[in-house]
Amino acid sequence: MNFKNIPKHIAIIMDGNGRWAKKRNLHRIQGHVEGIKSLKAVVKAIIEYKIKYLTVYAFSSENWSRPPEEVDSLMSLLSEYIRIELPYLIKNEIRLNFIGNIDKIPENSKKSLLEAVNKTKNFERLRLTLALSYGSKEEILNAASKIAEDFKKNKIDIEEGAGISGELFSSYLYTAGMPEPDFLIRTSGEKRLSNFMLYQIAYTEIYFTGTLWPDFRRKNLNAALKNYEKRIRRFGKTEV
Ligand code: IPE
Ligand code: IPE
Ligand code: MG
């Protein structure tokens, strides 16, 4: 596939696994299992298209309130995904990382995650970021608290009147060092952000599709990217 202009950073809210399963009289977890196949297909296409950053919302800070069986299954799926995919990530020079507060993630899942992050840290072909136990409000509050602490400890200087710069603030977010997303895709027909990257998507192009995440494969990604091609990003300026 050839695209006239392609985003450098794509973020995806992978939603609709439960509904996909329900439609087929399957257990919700089957929807999550099928959703992993979509993630694999999308990662594969994204490497081919030479997109440098992919950030996927895998588990929100609010998702901890789901029934414990579902949370447990999602956590097991996470470590399984990482274990199975690690050789693929290494072979394809994909750097895995995560954003979110992983304190609550069970030890074994956390261990495989951190191991994979460490083993892939020098790769630059694609940065695949998993948003795990991620909440944007928490991220912003955490950044503000850390800035206040560092200021008190004289680790940073904030000039009176100038305030905190966007650059400084961004460096305290989980996404420090990453460019902001150019394109955000949400599947399943919901038109909301569900506490995802609220600060980072100020000027991101947004694409909502009714396709459920387990049905979202390469052809759906292509359709989304074709739609992105037509977008005119003005950033507040007049059109040139
Ligand atoms: C997205 O699918 C995956 C997670 C939030 C972990 P859902 O599980 O939210 O599926 P629906 O929205 O209930 O269909
Ligand atoms: C958002 O989906 C989180 C993820 C996709 C991981 P949810 O299914 O949790 O969002 P709501 O509850 O419908 O807003
Ligand atoms: Mg959902």
User: What pTM did the predictor assign?
Assistant: 0.97
Q: Does residue 14 have its Cβ closer than 6 Å to ligand 2?
A: yes
The residue extents of the domains of the chain are 9-135+180-229
Class of domain 9-135+180-229 as given by CATH? alpha beta
- Cα–Cα dist 209/13, whole Å: 11
Ligand nearest to the CA of 35: 1
Q: Are 214 and 15 in contact (CB under 8 A)?
A: no
How many Å is the maximal CA-CA distance in the chain?
61
Count the Cβ atoms, other than its own, within 10 Å of residue 4.
Answer: 9
pLDDT in tens, the chain (240 residues): 889 999 999 999 999 999 999 999 999 999 999 999 999 999 999 999 999 999 999 999 999 999 999 999 999 999 999 999 999 999 999 999 999 999 999 999 999 999 999 999 999 999 999 999 999 999 999 999 999 999 999 999 998 888 999 999 999 999 999 999 999 999 999 999 999 999 999 999 999 999 999 999 999 999 999 999 999 999 999 976
Annotated catalytic residue within 15, 17, 97, 182: 15
Report H helices in the chain. 17-23, 28-48, 68-91, 107-119, 136-152, 166-171, 218-229
Q: Which atom of ligand 2 is nearest to the CA of 190?
A: 13
Q: Is 195 considered catalytic here?
A: no
- Cα–Cα dist 46/134, whole Å: 23
- Cα–Cα dist 74/60, whole Å: 12
